[in-house]
Amino acid sequence: MPVERLELCVDCNDRERIRGWWREALEWEEALSPGGEAVELRDPRSGMRIWFQEVPEAKILKNRLHLDVYLPADEVPHKRGRLEQLGGSVVDAGHERFVVLADPEGNELCLCWD
């Protein structure tokens, strides 16, 4: 049986703040969940969704899964700066073709370029 829908869930303590950070990072649109109870992010091209689940505990360890977001090299400094303004931080900038960022709660993302 084929998969009907694929979503990615991000655990967080402050759903609104983290969703806003990821909206800027991915440039996805907000959309209601299929049941209409929550606001998610939706890729307008593929329809893939990310939803944000509030949990009581803080993130402690390194992510075992993260997203790689590819941008033209000349757009990376602007995107990186914007994400830092929104509370993100640089985890590792010592690579030739990517920089590792964390959202305000420590969930990781790589900004990559060719």
Report pLDDT digits (tens) over 55-102. 999 888 888 889 999 999 999 999 999 999 999 999 999 999 999 999
Closest to 101 (Cα-Cα) out of 74, 71, 81:
81
Which pLDDT score is estimated for 34? 78
In a domain, 2, yes or no: no
Question: Would you say residue 30 lies in a domain?
Answer: yes
Q: At what angle do helices 76-85 and 15-26 cross, to 10 degrees?
A: 170
Backbone CA torsion sign across 73, 48, 17, 100: negative
Range of the domain at 45: 7-57+66-112
Number of domains in the chain: 1
Q: How confident is the model at residue 50 (pLDDT cuts 50, 70, 90)?
A: very high
pLDDT at res. 72 = 96
pLDDT surpassing 80 at residue 5: no
Select the more confidently predicted residue: 65 or 23: 23
